[in-house]
Homo-oligomer: A and B are copies of this chain.
Amino acid sequence: MATIDDVAKSAGVSKSTVSNVFSQKRPISKEISERVLEAARELNYKPNYWARSLANKETRIIGLNMEGDKVKFGQFRMTLLNGVLKECYNQGYRLLVNTLPKHFTNRLENWSSDPVDGEILLDPMVRDPRIEERVAGGIPIVVIGRPPESHESTVSYVSSDNVGAGRLVTEYLIGLGHRNILFLNAPEYRTVSHERFDGYRKALEMAELPVESSLVVYRDKVFGSSEEYGYIMAKRLLSENPSITAIITDTDKVACGVYQAAEELKLVIPRDLSVFAFSLETSYGTQLQPPVSSMRLNGELLGSEAAKMLLNLCASKTPIIKRVIIPWELIHRESCGPVKVVQ
């Protein structure tokens, strides 16, 4: 690969002239400029990205950091990704998907700074070392979802109103006459599960209903898949506690497990059991019989807003903490109905 020196020599000019022909940072006479370009073309020269980044101290790359080792996109993350990409596209940035497993980054020889100007963090956790590291290193970040309380006022983020969502759903089910609503929540270490629980709790309190701790379950690591989580917990809890008439799940995959459990227990949805899923990760949501009611989260907007904020942060260097809440919408399908009247 030809370097700037080769081109300079070949065109009979100095390195800095070549550099400026490309960077356009200072005017170069048309003749010389063309001579340089011609030489570059012949040598198949392109400025080296890393060398340029090193000197410029900027990469024009932003990172997308997904929590955990499972780096896998579902429906929701995909729309989110599309939003981020759209904004990258608009502003001439590239996107780096961070996929390094911990057992890799933990090794000393792989320990290094990240090759990005800033990062978008997904799925914030109640204790999130990712945030602390980046704050310490002065790397601009934007979180998608609510950051842990310790950083809520120091970190920019874009999120849905998860408390409101949890509350609305619960109120909706209460309105249908449900009194024992099982909540198959996301893992406890994620902030979102607490937000949704807060909403759930508020709705129950407003309705003067008790909050049974046995009805609130957080996903545990023991479950190999979301379906398994939904299936096992639904089967167990519905058997133990037949008064449960509605289940709120984290995703449609969990709901899928719930459906299976319901079928085995001869419970008909929505006649005997109402089911609601917060987010749709697959096409299960609409394929299930009956299709499961859910939230529409507008991932694309979450993504593009996050990217916009991050790129502003990268550019301005006067870090302005912002918070953006993206509205959701409750989608009524056919999985929730009035509670069965006991005869």
List chain A positions with a Cβ less than 8 A from chain B: 1, 21-24, 44, 46-54, 59, 61, 69, 71-73, 75, 78, 81-82, 85-86, 88-89, 92-101, 104, 108-115, 136-138, 283, 285-287
- A303 nearest CB across to chain B (Å): 11
- A14 nearest CB across to chain B (Å): 18
Question: Are B85 and A81 in contact (CB-based, < 8 A)?
Answer: no
Copies in the complex: 2
CA distance A112 to B54 in the complex (A): 14
Contacts of A101 in B (CB 8 A): 89, 92
User: Which B residue sits closest to A74, measured CB to CB?
Assistant: B78
User: Which B residue sits closest to A73, measured CB to CB?
Assistant: B78
Contacts of A46 in B (CB 8 A): 111-113, 137
User: Which B residue sits closest to A47, measured CB to CB?
Assistant: B112
CA distance A1 to B113 in the complex (A): 10
Question: Are A95 and B94 in contact (CB-based, < 8 A)?
Answer: no
**What 11 additional pairs, Cβ within 8 angstroms, besides A48-B112, A71-B86, A97-B97?**
A23-B109, A44-B136, A48-B113, A49-B112, A50-B50, A50-B115, A71-B89, A72-B86, A73-B85, A93-B99, A94-B99
The contact of A286 among B23, B99, B286, by CB within 8 Å, is: B286
Question: Are A137 and B54 in contact (CB-based, < 8 A)?
Answer: no
Question: Are B53 and A72 in contact (CB-based, < 8 A)?
Answer: no
CA distance A61 to B116 in the complex (A): 12
- A207 nearest CB across to chain B (Å): 34
Contacts of A138 in B (CB 8 A): 1
Question: Are A24 and B115 in contact (CB-based, < 8 A)?
Answer: no
Question: Are B61 and A54 in contact (CB-based, < 8 A)?
Answer: no
The contact of A115 among B1, B61, B99, by CB within 8 Å, is: B61
- A137 nearest CB across to chain B (Å): 7
Question: Are A54 and B50 in contact (CB-based, < 8 A)?
Answer: yes
Question: Are A111 and B50 in contact (CB-based, < 8 A)?
Answer: no
Question: Are B108 and A99 in contact (CB-based, < 8 A)?
Answer: no
Contacts of A108 in B (CB 8 A): 21-22, 24
Question: Are A99 and B85 in contact (CB-based, < 8 A)?
Answer: yes
Question: Are A50 and B53 in contact (CB-based, < 8 A)?
Answer: yes
The contact of A44 among B52, B93, B95, B137, by CB within 8 Å, is: B137
CA distance A18 to B151 in the complex (A): 33
The 3 residue pairs across chains A and B that have the minimum distance between CB atoms: A283-B283, A49-B115, A47-B112
Question: Are A99 and B88 in contact (CB-based, < 8 A)?
Answer: yes
User: Which B residue sits closest to A115, measured CB to CB?
Assistant: B49
Contacts of A287 in B (CB 8 A): 283, 286-287
Contacts of A22 in B (CB 8 A): 108-109, 111-112
Given A71-B89, A72-B85, A137-B1: A49 touches B113 (CB 8 Å cut-off): yes
- A28 nearest CB across to chain B (Å): 11
